[in-house]
Amino acid sequence: MSLAHFVVNGLYLVMQVLTGLIGVYQIVMSLPGIWHRRKAIRHVPEKRFAVMIAAHNEERVIGPLIDSLTGQEYPRELFDIHVIADNCTDHTREVALRHGANVHTRVNREKRGKGFAIEWMLERLQQSSVAYDAVVMFDADNLVAPDFLRRMNDSLCEGHKVIQGYLGVKNPFDTWVSVSMAISYWFSNRMWQNARQNMGLACSLGGTGLCIDMGLLREMGWEATGLTEDLEFGVRCVERGIIPIWNHDAKVYDEKPMTLLASMRQRLRWMQGHFHCAHHHMIPLIKAGLKERSFVKLDAGVYLFQPMRFLILFLTSLMMLLQVSKPHTVVSDITALLPTDFWLAVNVFLYLQMPLALLLERVNWRAYFGLILLPFFLWTWGPVTFQAYFTKANRKWAHTVHKRAIRLDQLRSR
């Protein structure tokens, strides 16, 4: 056997093991996600919230968001809406003021991006005379369910410090790309986030619909100014022994890109930030999890391994394709450490979780047609993750343009 042949065989075997372990791990860890019972609200309104919206040129969508917030089933005197008009060149400030929000104009051409805007706003809030119990963060394109703040109040009253709300999609049926993104989110909400909540593990933070205890922010500081500020803050919480929880009933709806190119740009930014965060925190979390026998930290470390999982799945699929189509290539006689039946079973179980999640979440029947093109959409993660890995040093924030000015009452009738 030549040296090149030996190296290819070795790499392929390593990828088989890692990919196989991750696949089985995800299947096992998703099973508790099947169970969810809607929780009754038990606590009276008590906590005072600073509702924070970082906005850059969002004049088209910010009005409906503010309206959904002013329509909360929560005493109006117990929450204030703060919009950060961050380096805006449109009428975001004027629209936000017209809809009743407090607007803070920020101009900083050097420190651009949501993380910097949040850090700037938190400093202003901590210097103000108003004593807030918690901060709630939203993106400007969001819509918020009427009971959102009541449910966050419940979680805070029960002693939780970091709470992530349910991440819904407000435009799932615009295009095949938006429905593919929506299916991914319905799956993640139910089979990843809800599953980990049921097991007492840390959920991953989504950057919007996020509630954080103000005392914790004063203690920890924000310090999350990368491309995935939510992931950075969540990881720091887990390292300190604070478990971010998932509130499946506190819903916020987000706009998803309608074109493949826009979606790939957005996912590239996510993956660049994910790689950067994994570089600094993955190994320490896994080591701490093993040393302290903390499954919470170990699972969080595995989550940071996700970008590499995308690469491994992409490469392994490519190698298996070559192996099947050209039986006499250099990869043809690779030891079948994990047989074809294993890969078939893993892929079937993983894929069947998608329609199962749709069924459990009781989504519109049109979503099931999106499953037809979903495999192609998932395949596009390969080149996105490849590019992100080789450009992970990029720290430049890129704005995602939002266009769908859907109102909450329109969302309910869809």
**Separation of alpha carbons 331 and 98, rounded Å:** 64
**The two structure tokens encoding residue 87:** 């380096």
State pLDDT tens for residues 65-76: 999 999 999 999
Amino acid at position 400, single letter:
T
Confidence at residue 395, expressed as pLDDT on a 0 to 100 scale = 63
Identify whether the C-beta of residue 134 lies closer than 8 Å to the C-beta of residue 212.
Answer: yes
**41 HSE (CA, 13 A, CB side):** 17
**The two structure tokens encoding residue 227:** 């491309």
For residue 83, what are the β-bridge partners? 53, 103
Confidence at residue 335, expressed as pLDDT on a 0 to 100 scale = 47
Residues with Cβ within 8 Å of residue 214, at least 6 apart in sequence: 50, 132, 133, 134, 135
| Planar angle of CA 384, 390, 391, nearest 5 degrees | 85
Sign of CA dihedral 15, 21, 22, 23: positive
- Nearest partner of 50 among 219, 234, 242, 211, judged by Cα: 211
Rg (CA), the chain: 22
Domains belonging to the chain, first-starting first, are: 1-414 (3.90.550.10)
Name the 3-class secondary structure at 213: strand
**Separation of alpha carbons 107 and 111, rounded Å:** 9
**The two structure tokens encoding residue 273:** 């930030």
Strand arrangement, sheet containing 210-213:
102-106, 79-86, 49-55, 134-139, 210-213, 162-169, 245-254, 143-144
Sign of CA dihedral 324, 329, 330, 333: positive
Give the alpha-carbon dihedral of 69, 71, 74, 77, to 10 degrees.
Answer: 80
By the 10 Å C-beta count (0-12 exposed, 13-18 middle, 19+ buried), 222 is classed as: buried
- Nearest partner of 252 among 348, 401, 343, 152, judged by Cα: 152
Q: What is the mean pLDDT of each run of 10 residues along the chain (414 residues)?
A: 70 74 85 94 96 94 96 97 95 96 92 87 89 95 96 97 96 94 94 95 91 93 71 90 96 94 89 84 93 93 72 59 54 57 76 92 94 88 84 66 66 56
**101 HSE (CA, 13 A, CB side):** 30
pTM: 0.88
Confidence at residue 313, expressed as pLDDT on a 0 to 100 scale = 56
Please spell the DSSP secondary structure of 241-289, one letter per residue. Answer: T---EEEEEEEEEE---SSHHHHHHHHHHHHHHHHHHHHHHHHHHHHHH
Residues with Cβ within 8 Å of residue 258, at least 6 apart in sequence: 171, 174, 175, 177, 178, 403
**Separation of alpha carbons 278 and 132, rounded Å:** 32
Confidence at residue 253, expressed as pLDDT on a 0 to 100 scale = 96
**Separation of alpha carbons 301 and 286, rounded Å:** 5
Confidence at residue 328, expressed as pLDDT on a 0 to 100 scale = 47
What Cα–Cα distance (Å) separates residue 227 from each residue in 192, 266, 285, 367, 399? 22, 10, 20, 30, 11
**Separation of alpha carbons 122 and 130, rounded Å:** 12
DSSP state of 371: G
- Nearest partner of 246 among 191, 291, 169, judged by Cα: 191
By the 10 Å C-beta count (0-12 exposed, 13-18 middle, 19+ buried), 278 is classed as: buried
**Separation of alpha carbons 197 and 380, rounded Å:** 29
- Nearest partner of 384 among 297, 253, 257, judged by Cα: 257
